[in-house]
Amino acid sequence: MVRLIDEFRDPELLRPLLQRISSYDDRNYSLMEVCGTHTVSISRFGIRSAVPENIKLLSGPGCPVCVTSQQDVDKAIELAKNSNIILATFGDMMKVPGTKSSLAKEKAKGANVVVCYSTREALDIAEEHPEKEVVFYGVGFETTAPTVAFSILEAKKRKIKNYSVFSTHKLVPPALRALLDSGEVRIDGFILPGHVSVIIGLKAYEFLSEEYGVPGVVSGFEPLDILITIEMLLKQIRSKKAKIENQYKRTVTYDGNIYAQKALEEVFKIDDAEWRGIGLIPKSGLAINEEFEDFDASKKFDVKVPYSIEPPNCSCGEVLRGVKSPFECKLFGKGCTPEHPVGPCMVSSEGACAAYYRFERYTRVVD
Amino acid sequence: MSEDIILLAHGSGGTLMHRLIENNIVPLIKEGGNFEFDDAAELLVPNQRIALTTDSYVVKPPFFNGGNIGKLAVSGTVNDLAMKGAVPIALSLALIIEEGLKLSELEAILKSIAETAKEAGIRIVTGDTKVVEKGSADKIFINTSGVGYIPDGRNVSGSNARPGDVVILSGTIGDHGIAIMSEREGLGLTIPVESDATPLNHLVERIFESIPADAIHVLRDPTRGGLATTLNEIAQQSNVVIRIEEERVPVKDEVKGACEILGYDPLYLANEGKLVLIVKEEFADEALKVMKSTEKGKDAAIIGNVEEVESKPAVFVKTVLGTSRFLTMLSGEQFPRIC
Ligand code: SF4
């Protein structure tokens, strides 16, 4: 598998593809990617500036850290303030600004917040500290949710009673539906997430073409993958035939990972969820079901936040809906940089603002 | 049988501590050195410019594939001297040990300190040991300071890069970063990646032997923050533009694979046994040849060049698509992707 990477970056293969893509010059095409890793690849390899200007690559709600609602961010911060709790989370959540504080700030003040690289680590901490409550702040889409589900199953098996999960997990397909329903931005086709699709499979997106007539292609992450995906979408759009195709055949199947899906079903139930920028989307979140209540931090601890306010002047909401490009935010690169982020889209390495800032701040700098 | 561990009392300054130092620490590290028990070491230093450096090591975890914190501490300090063009002379070694550390682990660390020092040809001449309460340190912290002399005619500095110079990298990047990451995360990579921690002073000497000293403008080891950060530091210090080509930067396949899984960028990953050489153009080929003839520089490659500054110092990278973009410094820490 590893050897493949070089082939996917071979300039000899890339050039003709770019040429073919340039022949789609008859109209504007707007394609949306809905995965943080795609955002980064497109920015990092300069794909946005390599394709002609009439092909617009928009970033959607693909960054899990970014779509977490302000209220959930505040709740996690509240949990961290409880001296009986060790809050375990992925690194990117640390600096996300809540209404008044952030996890990083609380940690500096003495709160017990640990950055975990895996849920296994959090479980181990729980076992080592029976006197404390370990709460895993679960953020992510279908990609990370299974590992969190497994951690709950494992905790149950190992009889670890001081472990629980604050689940803010979200599902990608309902968000795509919400975007199309709103009709706020024109989306001619979706570059569909590779990692999420490993779990949920191609079948989860069929409603896009069947109900909305919008094509989608599940894509890998290398420059070649993304360019092939773009060409596949352009072809579909031009021929006015919408279907869901798979460019990432080396990892994604039609049915997805049934084993992971089973674990999700066992531990979670589908619930409405609040998304930053989009609002409440029906049936778009994963809450822990009754059977595993003992591992549900939102039941175990009574966290209340009086009010939550998103950072003023931050356009993350519009950025996440693809309405604005990060460049169009007044604060981008001025009041808001990765060192001093105002909104989550600048904090998370998968956030559109951070990726555009790091890689595209000075776009189209060609030799 | 319970294993021997370090107790708080080992740091009390009493007999336990003496025994630890005399029986466990000194015998292991004095190989090849003449360690004295006075409060300070006496050094004979050539009548030349002296380079002095210090660094503290707090790597988590202290043991990783390809080495441990001890090897890292010696290599790191030796390399800091070498990057100044200095020939290392002596090293001090201060250990801050968390109570509860297994004696066997301490010994393994000391052994690799001794081996690495021997390889680099540097003597450890003085040291200090402290034991702190559980929770006050993470197993072991190490501080090493190093002294070296700079032979006449050498003048290397991050501020010496000149337009027209060529940028050479001594080998693959990201090995150390991925080795540490995979240890932390228990990635279980199919092909485990070894840390590249190693002293580079001999490689540096080989370069100085083969080309005129004044052709060697900059030497830097791209440690924390990776190649991207190091090149940015040089560009700023020297007030130049540096352009590199992504395709030319050597990265091991297994590191690329791990980066793809984790969403890391090898350009920002730490290295502990690589150097960036910025050299006058006419000596670039010779320098490359010499580097490639050594074990530690066998994967060396020319990755780019130095240009006149336009509006402000910057680093550009040409992507495989032929587009160019700014290569910025690392801000904060890289975290595994969750998407
Ligand atoms: S640039 Fe900063 S303030 Fe603007 S949308 Fe992005 S994160 Fe929010």
Q: Each residue of A46-81: pLDDT tens digit?
A: 999 899 999 999 999 999 999 999 999 999 999 999
- The two three-digit tokens of residue B92, written as one number: 């001090």
Residue A94 to chain B, least CA–CA distance (Å): 11
A-proximal residues of B, 202-261, CB under 8 Å: 247, 253-254, 256-257, 260
Beta strands in B221-257 (DSSP E): 241-245
A254 part of a folded domain: yes
B141 part of a folded domain: yes
- The two three-digit tokens of residue B158, written as one number: 């991050």
A93 C-alpha to center of ligand 1: Å? 16
A152 part of a folded domain: yes
Interval A338-363: pLDDT, tens: 989 999 999 998 999 999 999 988 65
B113 part of a folded domain: yes
Q: Per-residue pLDDT for A3 more than 50?
A: no
B52 part of a folded domain: yes
For ligand 1, atom 1: residue with the closest CA: A332
- The two three-digit tokens of residue B320, written as one number: 């495989």
A365 part of a folded domain: no
CB of residue A191 inside a 6 A radius of ligand 1: no
B81 part of a folded domain: yes
Pair A345, A33: CB distance under 8 Å: no
Q: Per-residue pLDDT for A85 more than 70?
A: yes
Same domain, B317 and B218: yes
Same domain, B140 and B238: no
Alpha-carbon span B296 to B267, nearest angstrom: 19
Residues on chain B touching A143 (C-beta within 8 angstroms): 338-339
A303 part of a folded domain: yes
Same domain, B199 and B299: yes
Which residue in chain B has the smallest CA separation from A7? B320
> A110 burial class (0-12, 13-18, 19+ CB within 10 angstroms)?
exposed
Comparing B212 with B310, the larger pLDDT belongs to B212
Helix (H, G, I), strand (E, B) or coil at B324: strand
Alpha-carbon span B279 to B217, nearest angstrom: 5
A366 part of a folded domain: no
Output DSSP code: residue B195: P
pTM, entire model: 0.83
Residue A76 to chain B, least CA–CA distance (Å): 18
Q: Is A359 on the interface with B (CB under 8 A)?
A: yes
Q: Per-residue pLDDT for B10 more than 50?
A: yes
Beta strands in chain A (DSSP E): 29-33, 55-59, 85-89, 113-115, 133-138, 163-167, 189-192, 216-218, 244-246, 268-275, 279-288
CATH number of residue A286's parent domain: 3.40.50.11740
Q: How many residues does this entry show for chain B? A: 339
Which residue in chain A has the smallest CA separation from B246? A45
Q: How confident is the model at residue A366 (pLDDT cuts 50, 70, 90)?
A: very low
Residues on chain B touching A358 (C-beta within 8 angstroms): 328
Q: How many domains does chain B have?
A: 2
Comparing B29 with B125, the larger pLDDT belongs to B125
Structural domain span for residue A317: 1-360
CATH number of residue B242's parent domain: 3.90.650.10
Instruction: Please say which residue of B96, B118, B149 terminates a domain.
Output: B149
Q: What is the pLDDT of residue B33?
A: 57
CA dihedral B219, B222, B223, B225 (to 10 degrees): 140
Which residue in chain B has the smallest CA separation from A49? B323
CB contact under 8 A, A37 and B335: no
Alpha-carbon span B275 to B253, nearest angstrom: 20
Same domain, B130 and B190: no
Same domain, B173 and B319: yes
Alpha-carbon span B49 to B84, nearest angstrom: 11
Alpha-carbon span A67 to A36, nearest angstrom: 11
CB of residue A96 inside a 6 A radius of ligand 1: no
Arithmetic mean of pLDDT over chain B = 91
Taking residue A309's Cβ as centre, other Cβ atoms within 10 Å add up to 11
**Residue A336's beta-bridge partner residues?**
A332
Q: Per-residue pLDDT for B13 more than 90?
A: no
Q: Is A35 on the interface with B (CB under 8 A)?
A: yes
B334 part of a folded domain: no
Q: How many domains does chain A have?
A: 1
Q: How large a percentage of chain A has pLDDT more than 90?
A: 88
Structural domain span for residue B185: 166-326
- The two three-digit tokens of residue A364, written as one number: 């189209």
CB of residue A353 inside a 6 A radius of ligand 1: yes
Pair B228, B266: CB distance under 8 Å: no
Backbone angles phi, psi at A268, to 5 degrees: -110, 160
For residue A336, the ligand 1 atom closest to its alpha carbon is: 2
A29 C-alpha to center of ligand 1: Å? 25
CB contact under 8 A, A2 and B320: no
Taking residue B27's Cβ as centre, other Cβ atoms within 10 Å add up to 14
Q: How large a percentage of chain B has pLDDT more than 90?
A: 68
Alpha-carbon span B185 to B154, nearest angstrom: 43
- The two three-digit tokens of residue B157, written as one number: 């500095």
ipTM of predicted assembly, 2 dp: 0.72
Q: What is the pLDDT of residue B67?
A: 94
Question: Which amino acid type is present at position B116?
Answer: T
Q: Half-sphere exposure (CA, 13 Å, Cβ side) for B75?
A: 26
CATH number of residue B89's parent domain: 3.30.1330.10
